[in-house]
């Protein structure tokens, strides 16, 4: 059975959120996509960490023992329900992807939606993060919070939900061995609306961020 733990305000873990079969099937599916040159892992802003977006529906999922609507009708809605249950508010999806952390990968302390001074960035809508740990056969890769005595040791099938803002800076410690797989998603309050000007500003900042990252990875 799922076990919900509140670590502090707006920070929860839910153990046994996914079964061992689901976790292994998701990992196998993502690596199958890469092996068959259908999709690829893309470097993200954290050292030696990669992300992959995929389709909400895919007939090929049935080869891995998952329904073809798994990522949309099953998993996304299940994550949304879990977020709304523990946070006590409606949320809307911002982004959703798989992540892969190779040995040596880490994420230093950061806010998901602001700079180090608390000013909103192009990721302003990422008010809440929800990450599913797909495996635990790696060392390191812990989730720590900078200003709070909260240390989360990933377990296969666990879902971690937390506010991602400036007052909740967090890190992923270095992965020392093995590969760390997760499903990451970000969520916003459903009743928030942004002006066209704000949307355009975010798009321009995002373009610059991506361009800066591309230059960094060329060095």
User: What 3-state class would DSSP assign to 119?
Assistant: coil
Q: What is the pLDDT of residues 160-187, one digit of tens each?
A: 999 887 777 889 999 999 999 999 998 9
β-strand 175-177 against 139-140: which pairing, if any?
antiparallel
User: What 3-state class would DSSP assign to 133?
Assistant: strand
Cα torsion angle, 180, 183, 189, 194, sign = positive
Distance CA 113, CA 136 (A): 27
Q: What is the pLDDT of residues 48-84, one digit of tens each?
A: 899 999 889 999 999 999 999 999 988 999 999 999 9
* Contact between 112 and 165 (Cβ < 8 Å): yes
- pTM score, two decimals? 0.85
């Amino acid at each position: 059975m799922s076990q919900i733990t509140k670590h502090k305000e707006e920070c929860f873990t839910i153990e046994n959120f996914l079964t061992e079969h689901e976790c292994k099937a998701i990992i196998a599916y993502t690596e199958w996509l890469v092996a068959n040159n259908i999709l690829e892992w893309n470097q993200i802003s954290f050292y030696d960490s990669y992300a992959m977006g995929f389709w909400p529906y895919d007939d090929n999922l049935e080869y891995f023992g998952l329904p073809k609507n798994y990522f949309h009708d099953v998993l996304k809605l299940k994550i949304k329900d879990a977020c709304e249950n523990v946070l006590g508010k409606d949320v809307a999806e911002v982004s959703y992807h798989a992540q892969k952390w190779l040995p040596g990968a880490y994420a230093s302390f950061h806010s998901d939606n602001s700079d180090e001074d608390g000013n909103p960035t192009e990721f302003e809508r990422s008010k809440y993060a929800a990450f599913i740990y797909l495996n635990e056969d790696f060392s390191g890769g812990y989730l720590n919070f900078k200003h709070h005595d909260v240390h989360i040791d990933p377990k296969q099938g666990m879902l971690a939900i937390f506010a991602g803002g400036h007052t909740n800076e967090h890190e992923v410690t270095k992965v020392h061995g093995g590969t760390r797989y997760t499903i990451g998603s970000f969520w916003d309050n459903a009743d928030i609306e942004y002006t066209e000007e704000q949307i355009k500003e975010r798009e321009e900042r995002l373009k610059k961020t991506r361009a800066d990252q591309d230059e960094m990875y060329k060095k």
